[in-house]
Amino acid sequence: MVPAFQSNDATAVPTDPAMVLAFPTEPSYSNKNNAHKVLTSSNDMLTKIDLMYLADKMVEKGIITSEQKREIVDDRYHGLSGFQRINKLLDHLRDTVEVNEGTFQWFIKILNDYNTVWSKSVAKKLMDKYTELQMTS
């Protein structure tokens, strides 16, 4: 089992040998693909995380614009359900992971920083699934 990676720097890459497999320093198609797969299967788990918190963090990171955030979190725009809104937010995250693999690690950190039992559990499950896919790739 890979220990949770903790850092205040969202772009940091761990140096602990136990973490190297989970957080490769050189992006590859396989790593991006695995991160994308993990995020694609995580919608149900993420519906219990505060949508506004995730959207705010994604605006800070430049994954979405303030206008996109408004369209996603304000259901007056489209009348989207909570599941549809988290899915739309994750679409932007998945698109960014395809171009910048470090975004996946950043997202795991954001879930841990949310600091609830649920968010930390989700972060661990996502990381475990990512590590499992890395080992089989």
Q: What is the pLDDT of residues 33-88, one digit of tens each?
A: 999 899 988 888 888 889 999 999 999 999 999 999 998 888 666 677 888 888 88
Q: Is-contact 16 67, C-beta < 8 A? A: no
Provide the pLDDT confidence category of residue 21 given band limits of 50, 70 and 90: very low
User: Within a domain: residue 7?
Assistant: no
User: Within a domain: residue 2?
Assistant: no
Quick one: CA torsion of 17, 116, 114, 99, rounded to 10 degrees? Answer: 50
What residues contact residue 76 under an 8 Å CB cut-off, 6+ apart? none
Q: Which CATH number do you get for residue 114? A: 1.10.533
Q: pTM for the whole thing? A: 0.74
pLDDT higher than threshold 90 for residue 23: no
User: Within a domain: residue 117?
Assistant: yes
Rounded to an integer, the average pLDDT of 13-42 is: 64
Phi-psi map region of 74: left, alpha, beta (phi>0 left; psi -120 to 50 alpha): beta
User: Within a domain: residue 60?
Assistant: yes
Which residue range forms the structural domain that includes residue 129? 29-136
Joined tokens for residue 135: 């080992």
What tens digit of pLDDT does each residue of 73-127 get? 886 666 778 888 888 899 999 999 988 878 999 999 999 999 999 999 999 999 9
User: Within a domain: residue 78?
Assistant: yes
Percent above pLDDT 70 for the chain: 75
